[in-house]
Structure 1
Amino acid sequence: MIYSRMIKKTVLLPILLASFVVFSQEKMLTKSGTITFEASVPSFQPVMGTNSSVTFVLNPVTGEIASLALMKGFQFEMALMEEHFNENYMETDKYPKAIFRGQIEGFDTNNLTQDYKDYIIKGKLELHGKSKDIKATAKITKTSSRITIISDFGVNASDFSIPIPSLIKYKLDDKVKVQMIAVLKQS
């Protein structure tokens, strides 16, 4: 009986480890994706931040996609703007990250080529303690072992209860334009 259990464990453990290795090889990853946002209003100083250390993970078999951006990773042209972003608006000590989890509709790596194709990505964006459904168009291409995803979409600051003082409300657009670029490779 004990010998039988040892054999089962001896056989089962390598099988489980092998399945984890195979599953982990399926994922594609980057830790240097870029997200840029702009909340500028014409005639005023541009309000734009960029984070080039965003993690993106893609399961090429299922089309599931996820990303994680640390909010303090956003950089601005002016240090004062970055300070206000972190302390007053995004409250990054309290809400340190933005997370997106979603699905690329109709995704099939066999249909990808060097030419960009349009896909729809649907999912949930968690930001500033709130969660919101997002639907965006993405351009996706595959070159050798890399998949590139580019998407532009908009979110409303008010949907995430991001506080904008009335004194400067006229200088910031509630509709924030977001662009993301990720070049993913086998992890």
Structure 2
Amino acid sequence: MIELRHLDDVIGGGDLIPLVRHELTEAERVVNDSSYSDDTGRRPLTVVGEQAQLAPWVASDARQSTEAEQVYLSGVSAAQDAGNRALAGQLLSSMSYQMANVGDPPMPLYSPAPPSRATTGPPRLCARSCSNGSHGQAPARATPTAPRALDAVGDADEARAPGDAEPEWVYWLDRKEIDVMSGR
């Protein structure tokens, strides 16, 4: 999974989507065709949720936004079943970001408001969630909320300390990327 995320940094969505779809399908097959205890089952469900994070990002890059939306929602379900609220929130905020970039949604899908609630957890995760949520709010003309969410992005980034435990999938989020997202 880590390798696929890093491949997405250098390979376009149209070229990468077949491999990412295959990996997601295999992870879903393990969840659906296996027997395990609830505790053991959380890990494969989290893997499905993490795969469902990359697959729609790549699908959206390949201009397949309808597929991306469906995969985001299935990933949210898997993450919730795994008890992984951070991942479920990340998937919703990414879906909001995607919707803001492919159309004009009538209302925000995911809102990190109030920003103080969105800023609990690993700092980079909070920054990513706040930033994505703000993109979902801007097209909906949620003017008072979007700037607060963008302020929360900066606050979350400034709260980072060496050694903070963060999900691997936030590796690319640094101050420069946060500035780019805020500019959008």
What's the TM-score bracket when you normalise by the shorter of the two chains? under 0.3
Structure with bigger RCO (C-alpha 8 Å, 6+ apart): 1
Greater percentage in helix: 2
Flag the structure with larger Rg: 1
Which structure dedicates a bigger proportion of its chain to strand?
1
TM-score normalized with structure 2 length: 0.22
